[in-house]
Structure 1
Amino acid sequence: MVPEPITQAELEKYLWGAAVLLRGYIDASDYKQYIFPLLYFKRICDCYDEETERALAACGEVFPEDHRFVVPEGAHWHDVRAVTEDVGMALQEAMHRIEDANRETLAGIFGDTSWTNKDFLSDATLRDLVEHFSSETLSLAHVPQDELGQGYEFLIKKFADDSGHTAAEFYTNRTLVRLMTQMLDPQEGESVYDPTCGSAGMLLVAALQVREQGKEYRSLRLFGQEINLITSSIGRMNLLLHGIEDCTIVRGDTLAEPAFVEQDRLKTFDCILANPPYSISRWDREAFSSDPWGRNLFGVPPQGRADYAFFQHIIRSMDPATGRCAILFPHGVLFRDAEREMRRRIVEADLIECVLGLGPNLFYNSPMEACVIVCRMQKPPARRGRVLFINAVDEVTHEKAQSFLEPRHIEKILAAYLSDEDVEGFSRSVPVEEILAKDANLSIPRYIARCDDGAVTPTFAGVYEEWTEYATEKSDAMEELRAVLKEVGLDG
């Protein structure tokens, strides 16, 4: 008998119940590296059983092509469930055998979790986890693809809420991602790339948006790179659990070793969605100064802030004809003095189509205001030589420590973005010459906030943020100077 589909509420309770079993044993930020591999392992095995039953019912025997993935003998969920000692070893061996048997699609999918370290999780705790997951059948009939995908997204957000400052590495505010995706409007057959993809949420939203439009979302070609192994594995699982198989998620450092190259140049893409890590200081600036991929075309960023290294990587990765990108940044990239020359050259190249200012708390566990920079290799004629500024700082809803965009906010922003008409106090198309006359400062209040006489008046929030960024920048410069003086013996 085919089981009734589980409700979304029941699924979420079931999934979160696994995390509850880990409380007190490991840090909340580590839940993901245990829960997600177990969930995916159980799903693969239950679907394997479902495929076996379907084949037997149809023709009385089972062939290899009846299965989406191979589950080797002895590596099934039921085999692990029967183990009472060294449960972690049994889990690890089963997962590795499934990866080896499906090397083209599942190599490395379960990550590098240390299942055999009993100081973290004892046999008893692992048995409890296995029994908890065994309480539901994760077949397609009982848990359809869309429902499991939504449950997976629910877990990702819950882990982000629970894990504090580490959340940003694998979760970006979904309402903001939806806005960015609608601004780029990916189409059937296009390539979509995220150079710092985390759990692949941006790539997933791009595919789902195409599906919502009634188009063939599986025709999209999705590419992502993520430096953290377990997070990159989570990203691959995320897409596969949503039924998206034409995807390539690679583990690696995008700045040090870009994964997507063609002969002697970077691979280019139609759409790029990105939320790069904010102002990282541990990166190889010296290597970037002589970058073999030509990503330093506008200059070399300061050691303490790699934002413009990611920015230039993205520009280099846009298709010359169809390429467009939407990048989520903190506001500081719009006006920091150390990046002025690079910013000026990017403005002069007429690549920036839109600078969108958003309210605070849209980054996880950070009060900073966000901005989205949209670039386009081939702007529409009416937008050439101009940059559209949108001041949407007030278009946000606050809830506890987190903020989000409601549909009405997204609709208003999109309407301004798609229009060639200015909206007083909200959006304005500014000639590149005017921006260059202001030292290529892209701070939005310099172009939109207005007095009755038409003069531009910066807001207090904008001035305060600029002052904070400048103060931090000067402090960083002093630290670098002290380090240089110390090296040459002039620090005393």
Structure 2
Amino acid sequence: MNTNANDLVQKLWNLCSLLREDGVTYHQYVAELAFVLFLKMAKETKREEQLPKGYRWDDLARREGMEQLRFYRELLLHLGTHGSTRVQDIYANASTALRHPKNLNALVKALDALDWYGVDRENLGDLYEGLLEKNATEVKSGAGQYFTPRPLVDAIVSVLKPQPGETVQDPAAGTGGFLIAADRYVRAQTDNYFDLADPKRQEFQRKKAFYGVELVPETRRLALMNMALHGLEGELILGDTLSPVGRDLPRADIIITNPPFGTKKGGGKPERDDFTFPTSNKQLAFLEHVYRGLKSAGRAAIVVPDNVLFEENVGQEIRADLMDKCDLHTVLRLPTGIFYAQGVKTNVLFFTRGQTDKGNTKAVWFYDMRTNAPAYGKRTPFLREHFTDFEKAFGADAYGKSRRKDQGAEGRFRKFSREEIKTRGDNLDVLWLKDEGQGNGDDLPEPAVLAEEIRQQLQTALMHIGELGSLLEADSMETK
């Protein structure tokens, strides 16, 4: 975004102070602001035709006092059942946390007073995405789990290179960042789809090419607004990918996702009858969904925490199955501090579905961005250019088939054969760089990072205990 756009995002975020008297939390604020902001942006982008007449920005802005608050409540209900299908999805079951007319009036007047004309009309959707990022970086909101940092999203899309006519799926869509970035990439390659002379191809890109699933209703609402403001009309299902909803998704040319971390609620296993390796570990379950959900020669990138690389038992079985069915060509070890949840250590797995189901991975290339990397955070922001060396090493081929150079024991990019990985018990937690900070007490992780590592280890241990209990129970039933 340009400077004017960034300034506008900051001003929008600062409007939160207007709502504090009504006891609105940061996360509620984004949803509350989004309801009003969507009306304003629909007017600014000349897309008000999707809204029913009488329930648009000017209809809200010209009222004041209690009349305005009553109309606003009526408007939220009305838009949940009228207007375009996307509008009805966005405002479904919408309600307001505002109790005082003066706060709504101040919010509407503040939005009207902002300098919308200093921003490119085609990039107004990015303003909303910037607001979502602000929400994610605000520790009090706890919303970071729904937002993947934009530099990471853009880097992943850049190396996967989605093409016109390909379907792109995100089974854990969050606020829609991956789908929007993929759409943005294709638009940039096709002059905003104008190069696709056939109207049917243009309509496919707008309505069919990008689709996903989101479990949390309020997060899906934010994603739908985000997509609508970017002109993306693809389907976003409200549901659980680890249920039959995910089983019934059409296979995709590309799957890009950052699934939620942790175990399935209640410790239960996915309700999927198509999984060979049922597990309560959500990241492993999503990984199985992704490689099973690809078309032949389809390609994928999935963000996973460290434990997916070394988890034993079912984890080892899933990794072996992945490397059989797919060419797992690249593992990117991400630095800490780039996600808004403290202490999360993550990686990106890049792979291509094979023509057959056996022996597709011949070697895996590992790129280590974590060891001896700066401690990223508010003081040292993580930027798009930090991926430059990785993208160069990855190469121009979206399937990981570019000519690559092993940088040796002192470099960040190494190649390990399938046989070498097999001798490690299919453990993908491969390290070779010496951590120059080891042995120095000043370089110990922050307490929050250590606490997160301990929490993840305890969670893994509890998962194993639960699975062991299920096995013992099953054995007991068989012996009766």
Q: 1:165 to 1:375 in 2, by over 3 A?
A: farther
Query: Shift in Å at residue 476 of structure 1?
Result: 4.5
Q: 1:142 to 1:471 in 2, by over 3 A?
A: closer
Task: Select 1:150's aligned residue among 110, 126, 129.
Answer: 126
Query: C-alpha offsets along residues 360-391 of structure 1, whole Å, 9 cap, x if unaligned?
Result: 11221222221001121149xx9852222222
Task: Select 1:231's aligned residue among 219, 230, 254.
Answer: 219
Report SS of the residue matched to 1:126.
helix
Query: Shift in Å at residue 111 of structure 1?
Result: 4.8
Query: Shift in Å at residue 124 of structure 1?
Result: 2.6
Q: 1:406 to 1:84 in 2, by over 3 A?
A: closer
* Contact 2:214 2:239 survives alignment (8 Å): yes
Task: Select 1:417's aligned residue among 394, 418, 436.
Answer: 394
What letter is aligned with 2:186? Answer: V
Task: Select 1:190's aligned residue among 166, 170, 176.
Answer: 166
Matches of 1:364 and 1:328, distance apart in 2: 14
2:103 alignment partner in structure 1:
125
Gaps (5+ residues) in structure 2? 194-201, 396-402, 436-443
Query: Shift in Å at residue 142 of structure 1?
Result: 6.9
Q: 1:468 to 1:355 in 2, by over 3 A?
A: farther
2:37 alignment partner in structure 1:
39
Matches of 1:126 and 1:423, distance apart in 2: 58
1:241 alignment partner in structure 2:
229
Larger Cα-atom Rg: 1
Matches of 2:455 and 2:32, distance apart in 1: 39
Q: 1:444 to 1:403 in 2, by over 3 A?
A: farther
Q: Is 1:392 aligned to residue 369 of structure 2?
A: yes
Task: Select 2:89's aligned residue among 82, 105, 108.
Answer: 108
Matches of 1:169 and 1:89, distance apart in 2: 34
2:257 alignment partner in structure 1:
274
Matches of 2:144 and 2:304, distance apart in 1: 12
Q: 1:407 to 1:473 in 2, by over 3 A?
A: closer
Task: Select 1:440's aligned residue among 426, 437, 440.
Answer: 426
Query: C-alpha offsets along residues 209-229 of structure 1, whole Å, 9 cap, x if unaligned?
Result: 233445545636111211122
Query: C-alpha offsets along residues 398-424 of structure 1, whole Å, 9 cap, x if unaligned?
Result: 454576544443121112222432121
Q: 1:481 to 1:130 in 2, by over 3 A?
A: same
Report SS of the residue matched to 1:413.
helix
Report SS of the residue matched to 2:414.
strand
Q: 1:175 to 1:160 in 2, by over 3 A?
A: same
Report SS of the residue matched to 1:193.
strand
Matches of 1:484 and 1:436, distance apart in 2: 26
* Contact 2:68 2:105 survives alignment (8 Å): yes
Matches of 1:99 and 1:145, distance apart in 2: 26
Matches of 1:273 and 1:234, distance apart in 2: 19
Matches of 1:472 and 1:170, distance apart in 2: 20
Report SS of the residue matched to 2:416.
strand
What letter is aligned with 2:215? Answer: I
* Contact 1:188 1:215 survives alignment (8 Å): no
* Contact 2:173 2:213 survives alignment (8 Å): yes
Matches of 1:286 and 1:10, distance apart in 2: 46
Query: Shift in Å at residue 35 of structure 1?
Result: 0.7
Query: Shift in Å at residue 188 of structure 1?
Result: 1.9
* Contact 1:15 1:151 survives alignment (8 Å): no
Query: C-alpha offsets along residues 70-125 of structure 1, whole Å, 9 cap, x if unaligned?
Result: 4323x23333341522644422322443454423332221353422x5xx532332
2:330 alignment partner in structure 1:
354
Task: Select 2:307's aligned residue among 317, 321, 332.
Answer: 332
Query: Shift in Å at residue 275 of structure 1?
Result: 0.5
Query: Shift in Å at residue 167 of structure 1?
Result: 1.9
1:342 alignment partner in structure 2:
318
What letter is aligned with 1:130? Answer: V
What letter is aligned with 2:160? Answer: L
Report SS of the residue matched to 1:337.
coil
* Contact 1:188 1:216 survives alignment (8 Å): no
Q: 1:396 to 1:212 in 2, by over 3 A?
A: farther
* Contact 1:360 1:403 survives alignment (8 Å): no
2:199 alignment partner in structure 1:
none
Q: 1:370 to 1:122 in 2, by over 3 A?
A: same
Matches of 1:203 and 1:336, distance apart in 2: 29
Matches of 1:260 and 1:46, distance apart in 2: 40
Q: Is 1:252 aligned to residue 233 of structure 2?
A: no
Q: 1:404 to 1:413 in 2, by over 3 A?
A: farther
Q: Is 1:200 aligned to residue 176 of structure 2?
A: yes
Q: 1:112 to 1:367 in 2, by over 3 A?
A: same
Matches of 2:391 and 2:3, distance apart in 1: 36
* Contact 2:175 2:222 survives alignment (8 Å): yes
2:74 alignment partner in structure 1:
93
Query: C-alpha offsets along residues 164-198 of structure 1, whole Å, 9 cap, x if unaligned?
Result: 46223431111111121122111122211111111
Matches of 2:141 and 2:65, distance apart in 1: 36
What letter is aligned with 2:56? Answer: H
TM-score, structure 2 normalization: 0.79
Matches of 1:174 and 1:476, distance apart in 2: 32
Q: 1:277 to 1:427 in 2, by over 3 A?
A: same
Matches of 1:157 and 1:480, distance apart in 2: 37
* Contact 1:358 1:395 survives alignment (8 Å): no
2:197 alignment partner in structure 1:
none
Query: Shift in Å at residue 334 of structure 1?
Result: 0.1
Matches of 1:474 and 1:13, distance apart in 2: 43
Query: C-alpha offsets along residues 300-322 of structure 1, whole Å, 9 cap, x if unaligned?
Result: 11x3x21111111111221123x
Query: Shift in Å at residue 200 of structure 1?
Result: 0.6
Q: 1:281 to 1:401 in 2, by over 3 A?
A: farther
Matches of 1:474 and 1:105, distance apart in 2: 43
2:350 alignment partner in structure 1:
374
Matches of 1:329 and 1:428, distance apart in 2: 20
1:455 alignment partner in structure 2:
none
Task: Select 2:59's aligned residue among 69, 79, 84.
Answer: 79
Q: Is 1:426 aligned to residue 394 of structure 2?
A: no
Gaps (5+ residues) in structure 1? 52-66, 452-459
